[in-house]
Amino acid sequence: GTVKPSNFLRAIIERDLEQGFQPARHFAGSPGDAAHHAAGPLDPAKIRTRFPPEPNGYLHIGHAKSICLNFGLARDYGGICHLRFDDTNPEKEEQEYVDAIKEMVAWLGWNWESAAPSADGSAGGATANHLFYASDYFDLMYRSAEYLVTQGLAYVDEQTPDEMRANRGDFSTPGKNSPFRDRSPDENLARLREMRDGQHPDGAMVLRAKIDMASPNINLRDPALYRIRRATHHNTGDQWCIYPMYTFAHPIEDALECITHSICTLEFEDQRPFYDWLVEHLAQGGLLARPLPHQYEFGRLNLTYVVTSKRKLRQLVEDGHVSGWDDPRMPTLVGMRRRGYTPESIRAMVESTGASKTTAWIEYSVLDGYLRADLEGKAARAMAVLDPVRLKLENYAEIFGSLDHREPCQAPAHPHVPELGTRQFSLGPELWIEREDFLEVPTKGYHRLYPGNKARLKYGYIIECTGCEKDADGRITAVLAKLVPDTKSGTPGADAVKVKGVITWVGSHEGIATELRLYDRLFTEAQPDAGERNFLDLLNPDAKRVVQGYLEPSLAQAQPDQKFQFERHGYFVADRVDHRSDQPVFNKITGLRDSFAK
């Protein structure tokens, strides 16, 4: 639709653009800081947003929300969006994740390498790389910590973690001051430098802000700023043995990159007072430039029938419940791509949710609706038989003169897109049809094959069913029928005989044997991590079914990741990892219409 979904952030940005961001920003810090020139020349009239993933796992559908929101607002208002790796926690972060995150942001259609086009579609400014690493700012972060110490705004606390926890208090109890809280700035500075120089073991002490242990906001009860941790960092190696805490690092990152609107999820709302406290003090000290960034919070996006916590997704992978991060059942972007979801469908779904102050629960069927809307107009059609049974045409030689005759048939690759061309296939004496297209005894309203009934082979002839063959156990091994002469689709007189049933088929002389992976919801409940039960107990055992079927010959050239509509079955994609032309593998993306949970 053309109606923009409600998005309170737009109102804020429009207000701010009207008022202008004066005075123009410039980077503080010494010229030696990577941050000093990181973001290039600054335009005071431009908004700047950022997507700041921690490279400790793969992106999921919730991240797509944040990506599209940040890059989308920058695009819509002629601004710039940074891709910033929030890599301040060396233990869990790896280059593998950095690479995967870049790949998926680009896959979703966003580009951090050039200024985004402005809202009217005209080209943006000069090309610039807006890719940043928080670890490039460790020097300035450390100097900021020293500055706070010299101002009496931070202290080194040597309480044990247990003591610190006990003295923090809780919602109903104010905290207690640490016995180390009243040390002089000089003493604290000496201790902080000892921490930095590796003179104390991991965990022996932390640097804390000195704010208010009685604050009703627990985040203001002297939050930790730095900890000692000997861990090799993927970017800075062993240069540091102290690392900044997220709550300290993030506001500094935003300010150094001149972010105007720092958009995050609701759980950070209580952190905003500390965010403001920190950037204001560092600006007073000349370490950060004004105007300062502001944090705005919006509700997370959750998708039904999956979990979107990195920790839980990791558990699914590590415990072998799925085949990997890119398992097509996973709500990771690599998994959804492999399943066959398109970037267009994910963007459309995410954009339809706007931004609000409450968590958005999106039905999986809504995503499937966008997938169908995207593929309906562009995916080539094909016939596929998923549950094959043989159909024998008893009068074939009589009609065509020989069992070796192949009667050519054709169909448009797409009913409304002639540019996609024509599919060619042929009839022979034996075909594959769906097992469900024959009943010995028809149910009410059943119009397909049963003894004595006529139905049309799609794009082919009308046939009349004569019976079936069975094995010793009574299982049907073949359906028998006769071709009705002069009824070929597209020929004069084809409609002379009226039938109600149309069935899809693949010639057994030319059908491509294929593996078909039929996917369904990963969990049996809409909100698997909401209740009391362990989410692992709610895994859907039928979320993956593998069957062997047959495809029409036009699919012989299918490329990995190419998407099709299998007539009457739904949308399928050639698996980007396992599909080979001599060993085809197709994944079911979704059905033709919503058949789930109804």
Rounded to 10 deg, the angle between the 364-376 and 343-352 helix axes is: 130
Spatial distance between the Cα atoms of 11 and 7, rounded to a whole number of angstroms = 7
DSSP state at residue 526: S
Query: Based on CB atoms, which residue is closest to Mg ion, 93 or 157?
Result: 93
As measured in angstroms, the least distance from the Cβ of 178 to ligand ATP is 29
Query: Based on CB atoms, which residue is closest to ligand ATP, 289 or 330?
Result: 330
Spatial distance between the Cα atoms of 26 and 288, rounded to a whole number of angstroms = 9
As measured in angstroms, the least distance from the Cβ of 317 to ligand ATP is 13
- The catalytically annotated residue of 54, 163, 351, 394 is 54
As measured in angstroms, the least distance from the Cβ of 165 to ligand ATP is 22
Query: Based on CB atoms, which residue is closest to ligand ATP, 53 or 328?
Result: 53
Query: Based on CB atoms, which residue is closest to Mg ion, 54 or 158?
Result: 54
- The catalytically annotated residue of 227, 310, 329, 482 is 310
Residue 113 annotated to the active site: no
**Residue of 176, 178, 185, 148 lying closest to 160 (CA atoms):** 178
Residue 579 and residue 586 in contact, taking contact as beta carbons nearer than 8 Å: yes
As measured in angstroms, the least distance from the Cβ of 300 to ligand ATP is 4
What amino acid is encoded at 417 in this protein?
Answer: V
> What's the distance, CA 256 to chain centroid?
29
As measured in angstroms, the least distance from the Cβ of 321 to ligand ATP is 17
Q: What is the β-pairing status of strands 380-382 and 512-519?
A: unpaired
Query: In a 3-state reduction of DSSP, which class is residue 557?
Result: helix
Q: What is the dihedral of CA 438, 441, 443, 445, to 10 degrees?
A: 70
Residue 295 and residue 272 in contact, taking contact as beta carbons nearer than 8 Å: yes
Query: Based on CB atoms, which residue is closest to Mg ion, 52 or 78?
Result: 52
* Total Cβ atoms within 10 A of residue 216: 9
Query: Based on CB atoms, which residue is closest to ligand ATP, 29 or 62?
Result: 62
- The catalytically annotated residue of 290, 300, 314, 568 is 300
Q: Is the peptide bond before 23 cis (omega within 30 degrees of 0)?
A: yes
As measured in angstroms, the least distance from the Cβ of 62 to Mg ion is 9
Rounded to 10 deg, the angle between the 343-352 and 61-76 helix axes is: 80
Query: Based on CB atoms, which residue is closest to ligand ATP, 262 or 453?
Result: 262
Residue nearest to Mg ion according to CB distances in the complex: 54
Q: Is the peptide bond before 174 cis (omega within 30 degrees of 0)?
A: no
Spatial distance between the Cα atoms of 25 and 291, rounded to a whole number of angstroms = 7
Q: Is 532 exposed, middle or buried (0-12, 13-18, 19+ CB in 10 A)?
A: exposed
Q: Which residue has the tokens 């009410």?
A: 444
Residue 287 and residue 336 in contact, taking contact as beta carbons nearer than 8 Å: no
Query: Based on CB atoms, which residue is closest to ligand ATP, 178 or 308?
Result: 308
What does 308 interact with, of ligand ATP, Mg ion, none (CB < 5 to 8 A by kind)?
ligand ATP
Residue nearest to ligand ATP according to CB distances in the complex: 62
Residue 54 annotated to the active site: yes
Query: Based on CB atoms, which residue is closest to ligand ATP, 83 or 192?
Result: 83
Contacts of 57 (CB under 8 A, 6+ apart): 97, 310, 313, 314, 325
Spatial distance between the Cα atoms of 541 and 25, rounded to a whole number of angstroms = 56
Spatial distance between the Cα atoms of 284 and 117, rounded to a whole number of angstroms = 35
Site residues for Mg ion, 37-76, by CB under 5 A, read 54
Annotated binding site for L-glutamine: 86, 246
- Number of residues forming the site for Mg ion (CB under 5 A): 1
Residue 219 and residue 277 in contact, taking contact as beta carbons nearer than 8 Å: no
What amino acid is encoded at 565 in this protein?
Answer: Q
What does 414 interact with, of ligand ATP, Mg ion, none (CB < 5 to 8 A by kind)?
none
Token pair in block for residue 251: 């506001």
Q: Which residues bind ligand ATP (CB under 6 A)?
A: 52-54, 62-63, 65-66, 264-265, 300-302, 308-310
Token pair in block for residue 248: 């300290």
Annotated binding site for ATP: 54-56, 60-66, 265, 300-301
**Residue of 293, 264, 325 lying closest to 52 (CA atoms):** 264
Residue 300 annotated to the active site: yes
Site residues for Mg ion, 531-550, by CB under 5 A, read none
Annotated binding site: 54-56, 60-66, 86, 246, 265, 300-301
- Tallying the residues shown for the chain, one arrives at 598
E strand map for 435-494: 454-457, 462-470, 476-483
Residue 78 backbone zone (phi > 0: left; psi -120 to 50: alpha; other: beta): left
Spatial distance between the Cα atoms of 126 and 114, rounded to a whole number of angstroms = 7
As measured in angstroms, the least distance from the Cβ of 359 to ligand ATP is 8
As measured in angstroms, the least distance from the Cβ of 203 to ligand ATP is 23
As measured in angstroms, the least distance from the Cβ of 68 to ligand ATP is 10
* Total Cβ atoms within 10 A of residue 124: 17
Residues annotated catalytic, as ranges: 54, 300, 310
List residues near Mg ion by CB under 5 A. Answer: 54
